[in-house]
Amino acid sequence: MTAIIIDGAAAAQALYAGLAARVQALKARGVTPGLATVLVGDDPASRVYVRNKVRACESLGMHSEHRALPATVTTAELLAEIAALNARADIHGMIVQLPLPPQVEPAALLQAIAPDKDVDGFHWRNLGALAAGTPQLLPCTPAGVMHLLDREGVAIEGQRAVVIGRSQQVGKPTALLLISRGATVTVCHSKTTDLAAITHEADILVAAAGRPRLVTAAMVKPGATVIDVGINRVDGKLVGDVDFASVREVAGRITPVPGGVGPMTVAMLIANTVTAAERHAGAAST
């Protein structure tokens, strides 16, 4: 079997088409959705991620504002920046690009962002709402994973799903979303023993470990849907957590890296920003 390749770039473009109409509707009411991006230091990968987010905003006619701060910035200085953006009526969403330098405590920053502007979905209120089954703003990568599964028509209810990775940003929220849709979910991590035996049971396998080519063909159930969240740089090339060349011969569907989950993460961030602006506009007109 050779797997169907899930085209994340095409899925993102389709999403942008729907978002463009929502942006125009907001603008007709005098509201331009605004996203602020905060980047600390000069990590090249982070710079690329932020640039992609800014470009996506601009292509839809949204407002974007970028803050580039030196790697020596203090937590207090960042908190002041976030407080100023929280107070702005024309900024509906903000993100602080991770990772942050060691002197900055990420949790303090992420919890300082007003939950209704937390378009990364990392604030405990948003993560808690997701855990409680009443999602508000969803974390972008997990939301993108679910969007790809739905767009492909992959059955979720009653299926066995395995998520490799238990991070707050990716693994855990993805598992919660799959649970909420009726999958039977196993979450694996670095302490998991016999990973291959568990992944081999998965109808849906989500790899989010940050370990290049961790998932090999022998670990995949024939016909499974394999979603590769990983982004790793090996010899100057981007590779996922899945050994794409061998796994595509076993899986039913598979996402490539790049061009799979990555574009969806950006599209979901923009979708969250538009949603936040719509809620703000709704609240302002009531």
Candidates 7, 116, 118, 120; catalytic one: 120
Closest to ligand NAP by CB, 86 or 232: 232
* Contact by Cβ (8 Å): 130, 138: yes
The answer to whether residue 167 forms part of the interface with ligand NAP (CB under 6 A) is: yes
Closest to ligand NAP by CB, 75 or 168: 168
* Contact by Cβ (8 Å): 188, 196: no
* Residue 116 annotated in active site: no
Q: Looking at beta carbons, which pairs linking 76-83 to residues 24 or more positions away fall under 8 Å?
A: 78/38, 78/40, 78/104, 78/109, 79/108, 79/109, 79/112, 81/38, 82/38, 82/109, 82/112, 82/113, 83/112
The answer to whether residue 85 forms part of the interface with ligand NAP (CB under 6 A) is: no
CB of 25 to ligand NAP, least distance (A): 28
Q: Taking phi first (over 0 means left), then psi (-120 to 50 degrees means alpha), and beta for anything else, what does residue 225 get? A: beta
CB of 92 to ligand NAP, least distance (A): 21
The residue to which tokens 């506009």 are assigned? 281
Q: Is 70 helix (H, G, I), strand (E, B) or coil?
A: coil
CB of 164 to ligand NAP, least distance (A): 5
CB of 165 to ligand NAP, least distance (A): 4
Q: What are 253's strand-pairing partners? A: 4, 225
Identify residues 215-274 at the interface with ligand NAP (CB under 6 A): 229-232, 261-262, 265
Integer Cα distance of 90 and 32 in angstroms: 7
Quickly count: other Cβ atoms within 10 Å of residue 255's Cβ. 31
The residue to which tokens 């602080």 are assigned? 96
The residue to which tokens 């090249």 are assigned? 44
CB of 140 to ligand NAP, least distance (A): 7
CB of 211 to ligand NAP, least distance (A): 5
Integer Cα distance of 77 and 52 in angstroms: 25
User: Contacts with ligand NAP: how many residues (CB under 6 A)?
Assistant: 26
Closest to ligand NAP by CB, 134 or 191: 191
Which position among 31, 35, 163, 164 is part of the footprint of ligand NAP (CB under 6 A)?
164
Candidates 7, 53, 159, 169; catalytic one: 53
Which position among 37, 64, 97, 141 is part of the footprint of ligand NAP (CB under 6 A)?
141
- Alpha helix (H) residue ranges in the chain: 8-28, 44-59, 75-86, 106-110, 124-131, 140-151, 171-180, 195-199, 244-247, 261-285
Closest to ligand NAP by CB, 127 or 214: 214
Stretch in the footprint of ligand NAP (CB under 6 A) among 22-30, 87-95, 104-112, 166-174:
166-174
* Residue 53 annotated in active site: yes
Q: What does the block give as tokens for 194?
A: 């016999």
Identify residues 41-70 at the interface with ligand NAP (CB under 6 A): none
Cβ-closest residue to ligand NAP? Answer: 167
Closest CA to 233 of 215, 257, 206, 217: 257
Question: What would the x/- binding string for ligand NAP be over residues 178 to 217, using CB under 6 A?
Answer: ----------xxxxx--x------------xxxx--x---
Which residues are designated catalytic?
A: 53, 97, 120
Q: Which residues bind ligand NAP (CB under 6 A)?
A: 141, 164-167, 169-171, 188-192, 195, 208-211, 214, 229-232, 261-262, 265
